[in-house]
């Protein structure tokens, strides 16, 4: 058993002061007491927020973060599609060992920044020649092993990737991704489920790469007849060209087609959904489906800006992810999301509703609730007896934090903190990041650097 005493614990209504959180040997909360004087508690001069949910990750892409920013001056400026080719080259080179070491470093960094769970949108399934491994989930199993090694919760989302574009055969650069039909994907899904059983904090979700990546009629079939008790993730409407190609192939925009052909609810998670009409925006919100926004990646790739204000006005729910991992700090994701909306609306009140006017509290509620749903966790309370204790810890001595009232604290933390103010992270009851360092940081970093040198991708 373990007891932590924190200066403040965030609830849906704000911070409670001087709280003791007791956990059992498995890291599950056994009691939460205010103004307790437990002399055996580990005293932490911190404010505790619910651990962030990273609802969209491509772990292998961490190996190329920052490498796509050098451009030939005598060529047409590149875009998402040229970046994609560079990404394919990396995907074709990594081994299972490489992937595990890259993911372990990434996941340790996620923990350092306050993420305690990650939805891994995983599509590098086969060997370098495109042949299936003896264990269909060899690469997915390495991601689970990496998560277990560093102590983060993982929702493995093995991705169905079938086509090279609307009505197009897959390309050679996509050979490690492909499941030729629904039966093949269901076999992969079954193998992936076995991989998640190797780690107590791992589970499974369904994933479609995109409407251009899987024949739309097959997407509808999987949504209707596939497992119904798992989250359903899909990239959609990220790029203008994708929307144009969808109209040419289907006579419909991607989200428009999904709304008309798939019965959606809150197990569906639309990643990016950047380019929407008003009707599509309203339709997603009214269906109960969630949107996963990845502001640093969407900004880096030049995707565009999601119509968040209208979506929220219709009751839409959203979470955040780090996608290509050009940024990993959840507070930075939220600030960029907010400021992008302010720049196009010329108004400051982005994170709000009729019920909640505190921007910080509103943002935490959105990313916690919808983010947990992406992991197949529908628990609504931030901290509850019977749930695992997952928390990001903010240093109470940081100047702006120390001088703020409890009423001002949520938004002060959201808008004014940087990584130096994040004391640590408790993941599934364990203080796994302390004083800004993961407990296995040196070993994880050494393996990562060795892998990067062997790949030669960062030279």
pLDDT, tens digit, 9 for 90 and up, residues 146-189: 999 999 999 999 999 999 999 999 999 999 999 999 999 999 99
Q: How far apart are CA 446 and CA 357, in angstroms?
A: 45
The pLDDT value recorded for residue 77 is 61
Count of alpha carbons within 13 angstroms of residue 150, beta-carbon side: 35
Is residue 448 over pLDDT 70? yes
Dmax (CA) of the chain: 68
**pLDDT tens digit sequence for 325-338:** 999 999 999 999 99
The mean pLDDT of 288-313, rounded to a whole number, is: 96
Report the SS3 class of residue 418: coil
The pLDDT value recorded for residue 111 is 98
Is residue 344 over pLDDT 70? yes
**Residue 377 CB contacts under 8 Å (≥ 6 apart), including other chains:** 117
**pLDDT tens digit sequence for 387-404:** 999 999 999 999 999 999
The pLDDT value recorded for residue 80 is 61
Which domains does the chain show, CATH number per domain?
A: 2-50+383-442 (2.30.40.10), 52-374 (3.20.20.140)
Is residue 49 over pLDDT 60? yes
The pLDDT value recorded for residue 35 is 75
**pLDDT tens digit sequence for 247-279:** 999 999 999 999 999 999 999 999 999 999 999
Please state whether the predicted TM-score (pTM) of the whole model is above 0.95.
Answer: yes
Beta bridge partners of 15: 10
In 3D, which of 182, 187, 218, 198 has the Cα closest to residue 144? 198
Answer for the pair 402, 233: CB distance below 8 angstroms, yes or no.
no
Q: Which residues are catalytic?
A: 272, 323
């Amino acid at each position: 058993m373990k007891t932590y005493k924190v200066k403040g614990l965030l609830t849906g209504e704000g911070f409670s002061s001087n709280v003791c959180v007791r956990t059992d040997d498995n890291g599950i909360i056994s009691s939460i007491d205010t103004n307790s004087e437990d002399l055996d508690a580990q005293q932490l001069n911190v404010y505790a927020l619910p651990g962030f949910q990273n609802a969209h990750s491509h772990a292998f892409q961490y190996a190329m973060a920052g490498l796509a920013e050098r451009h030939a001056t005598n060529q047409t400026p590149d875009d998402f599609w040229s970046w994609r080719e560079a990404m394919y080259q990396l995907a074709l080179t990594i081994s299972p060992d490489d992937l595990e070491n890259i993911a372990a470093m990434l996941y340790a960094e996620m923990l350092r920044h306050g993420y305690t769970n990650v939805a891994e949108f995983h599509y590098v399934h086969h060997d370098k020649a495109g042949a299936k491994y003896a264990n269909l989930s060899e690469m997915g199993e390495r991601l689970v092993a990496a998560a277990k090694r560093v102590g983060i919760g993982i929702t493995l989302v093995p991705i169905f990737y079938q086509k090279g574009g609307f009505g197009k055969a897959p390309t050679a650069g996509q050979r490690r991704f492909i499941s030729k039909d629904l039966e093949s994907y269901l076999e992969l899904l079954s193998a992936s489920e076995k991989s998640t059983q190797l780690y107590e904090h791992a589970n499974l979700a369904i994933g479609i790469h995109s409407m251009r990546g899987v024949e739309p009629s097959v997407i509808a079939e999987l949504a209707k007849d596939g497992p119904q008790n798992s989250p359903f993730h899909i990239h959609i409407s990220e790029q203008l060209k994708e929307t144009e190609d969808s109209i040419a192939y289907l006579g419909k925009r991607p989200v428009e087609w999904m709304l008309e052909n798939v019965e959606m609810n809150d197990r569906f998670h639309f990643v990016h959904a950047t380019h929407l009409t008003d009707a599509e925006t309203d339709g997603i919100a009214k269906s109960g489906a969630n949107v996963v926004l990845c502001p640093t990646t969407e900004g880096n790739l030049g995707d565009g800006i999601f119509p968040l204000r209208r979506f929220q006005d219709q009751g839409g729910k959203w979470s955040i992810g780090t996608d290509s991992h050009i940024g990993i700090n959840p507070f930075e994701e939220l600030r960029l999301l907010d400021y992008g909306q302010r720049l196009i609306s010329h108004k400051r009140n982005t994170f709000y509703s009729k019920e909640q006017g505190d921007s910080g509290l509103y943002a935490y509620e959105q990313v916690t609730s919808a983010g947990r749903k992406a992991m197949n966790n529908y628990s609504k309370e931030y901290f509850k007896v019977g749930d695992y204790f997952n928390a990001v810890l903010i240093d109470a001595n940081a100047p702006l934090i120390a001088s703020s009232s409890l009423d001002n604290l949520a938004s002060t933390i959201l808008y004014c903190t940087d990584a130096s103010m994040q004391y640590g992270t408790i993941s599934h009851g364990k203080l796994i990041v302390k004083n800004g360092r993961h407990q296995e940081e040196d070993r994880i970093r050494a393996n990562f650097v060795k892998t990067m040198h062997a790949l030669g991708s960062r030279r």
